Amino acid sequence: MIETIRNEINNETASLCLMNESLKKHTTYGIGGPADLMIFPKSKQDLIKVIEIINDNKIQLTILGSGSNVLISDNGIRGAVISLKNSLKQIEVDGNILYAECGTMLGKIVKHAVKNNLIGLENLNGVPGTLGGALIMNAGAWGGEISENLIHVEVINSKSEIQKIQRKDLNFSYRQSSFNKDDILLSAKFNLKKADKDIIKENFIEAQSGRKKSQPLNKRSAGSLFKNPKNNSAGKLLDKAGLKGLSIGDAKISEKHANFFINDGDASSRDMLMLIKKAHKAVKDKFNVNLSLEVKLMGFNEDEIGGLC
Ligand SMILES: Cc1cc2nc3c(=O)[nH]c(=O)nc-3n(C[C@H](O)[C@H](O)[C@H](O)COP(=O)(O)OP(=O)(O)OC[C@H]3O[C@@H](n4cnc5c(N)ncnc54)[C@H](O)[C@@H]3O)c2cc1C
């Protein structure tokens, strides 16, 4: 069945469509088993056709950006995984308006804004990932969030219909957005402000240097693992619980930043999940705080995840 779908996608679109593709190669963690089918559509038209084929064949669909905020099971993901990271990369600036397609890396968009003397995105300098992933996660850093200055987002829904969703019809909060579960984000428009080049450059450089000082950027991670609880810091709680340096197999809690759980070699998803559960329990036992995950778990079953949210 999967082979037939692969053939149909290959015959009817210009997408790259791979069977049993290891998801290790497509996540910053370097962890994850195979996707039954992994599809990189070449264009919006391709994507529409691919969704139609997936719907006709009633197989499960998962969307991946650049895999910088996910932990994927060693068992992989059943059905189809679509990633936009190799396409939909157009960026345009017209006056104060910046338009970008959702396969574009956030870093490229930030640099483009800075080059055009536009202020409002430079705090996000150094956040990896595509624009699509950033909008879903409402990515943020140093007090700024991607949803600020947003005008609208273009999405394609599960019926292959393209819709423009205005900012006022969306809710964003800390690392959360209200897009429908099946929406695939295609592009977005931002209303930025012109500002002094030196001020923008200074913010841009500070954002990256702050990151280098505090985060283990030379190790494989998915950034902050847990969300910060209200008026508290997940990193500080994990640190105070004495968890820095704790490891299970090659999964390790960074010595530099306790909320960065790193793959220090060839960690399995099982090692990482056990470490996450151990840390979660230690913080709950010591401070009675129930940390919730920022990183999205994919391909695990309910029994494996039990207790984490
Ligand atoms: C070293 C490091 C530092 C980090 N620092 C920060 C930080 O400072 N602030 C911060 O907020 N995050 C940070 N992150 C986390 C991560 O970079 C962001 O969440 C990023 O926005 C995720 O983008 P992605 O394309 O990699 O998404 P993925 O990880 O691939 O996916 C994340 C979610 O978005 C969905 N998704 C992705 N693309 C689309 C699309 N086009 N349509 C619909 N759904 C989609 C996926 O299904 C998934 O649910 C960091 C990560 C690393 C590795």
Same domain, 106 and 179: yes
CA angle 236, 258, 248 (to 5 degrees): 140
Residue having the nearest C-alpha atom to atom 52 of ligand 1: 223
Closest alpha carbon to 167 in 145, 142, 143:
145
Asked whether the predicted pLDDT for residue 134 surpasses 70, the reply is yes
Where are the extended beta strands (E) located within 60-166? 61-64, 70-72, 77-83, 91-94, 97-101, 118-119, 140-141, 144-145, 150-156, 162-166
Instruction: Report how far apart, in Å, the C-alpha atoms of 200 and of each of 122, 129, 207 are.
Output: 7, 21, 11
Distance of alpha carbon 61 from alpha carbon 77, whole angstroms? 9
Asked whether the predicted pLDDT for residue 293 surpasses 90, the reply is yes
CATH number for the domain spanning 260: value is 3.90.78.10
| Residue 78 annotated to the active site | no
The predicted structure's pLDDT at residue 226:
98
Q: Give just the sign of the alpha carbon dihedral 45, 47, 49, 55.
A: negative
CATH number for the domain spanning 119: value is 3.30.465.10
The total of structural domains in the chain comes to 3
Q: Which residues line ligand 1 (CB under 6 A)?
A: 28, 63-70, 84, 102, 127-130, 132-134, 136-137, 139-141, 184-185, 217, 221-223, 296
Q: Which of 137, 177, 187 is the pocket-test mutation for ligand 1 (most atoms within 8 Å of CB)? A: 137
User: Domain for residue 181, yes or no?
Assistant: yes
Picking from 152, 186, 214, the residue at the C-terminal end of a domain is: 214
Same domain, 75 and 136: no
User: Domain for residue 224, yes or no?
Assistant: no
User: Domain for residue 247, yes or no?
Assistant: yes
Same domain, 191 and 99: yes
Mean pLDDT, range 150-157, rounded to an integer: 96
Same domain, 208 and 241: no
Question: Which ligand 1 atom is nearest residue 88's CA?
Answer: 41
Asked whether the predicted pLDDT for residue 157 surpasses 80, the reply is yes
Reading the block at residue 223, the tokens are 């950034």
- For 195-203, which contacts have Cβ atoms below 8 Å and span 24 or more sequence positions? 195/117, 195/118, 195/119, 196/117, 197/117, 199/119, 200/114, 200/117, 200/118, 200/119, 200/122, 201/114, 203/119, 203/122, 203/123
User: Domain for residue 163, yes or no?
Assistant: yes
Asked whether the predicted pLDDT for residue 307 surpasses 80, the reply is no
- Domain range enclosing 256: 234-305
137 CA distance to ligand 1 centroid (A)? 6
Same domain, 210 and 244: no
User: Domain for residue 229, yes or no?
Assistant: no
Question: CB 117: neighbour CB atoms within 10 A?
Answer: 16
Question: Which ligand 1 atom is nearest residue 62's CA?
Answer: 47
Binning pLDDT at 50, 70 and 90, where does residue 309 land?
Answer: low
Same domain, 198 and 96: yes
Question: Which ligand 1 atom is nearest residue 185's CA?
Answer: 42
Question: Which ligand 1 atom is nearest residue 183's CA?
Answer: 43
The rounded mean pLDDT for the chain is 95
Residue having the nearest C-alpha atom to atom 43 of ligand 1: 184
Picking from 83, 103, 127, the residue at the C-terminal end of a domain is: 83
Pseudo-torsion of CA 120, 122, 126, 131, nearest 10°?
A: 40
pLDDT in tens, 69-80: 999 999 999 999
| Residue 294 annotated to the active site | yes
CATH number for the domain spanning 7: value is 3.30.43.10
Distance of alpha carbon 283 from alpha carbon 237, whole angstroms? 7
Asked whether the predicted pLDDT for residue 111 surpasses 90, the reply is yes
User: Domain for residue 10, yes or no?
Assistant: yes
Same domain, 75 and 107: no
User: Domain for residue 265, yes or no?
Assistant: yes
The predicted structure's pLDDT at residue 227:
97
Q: Which of 44, 68, 123, 296 is the pocket-test mutation for ligand 1 (most atoms within 8 Å of CB)? A: 68
CA angle 289, 295, 296 (to 5 degrees): 115
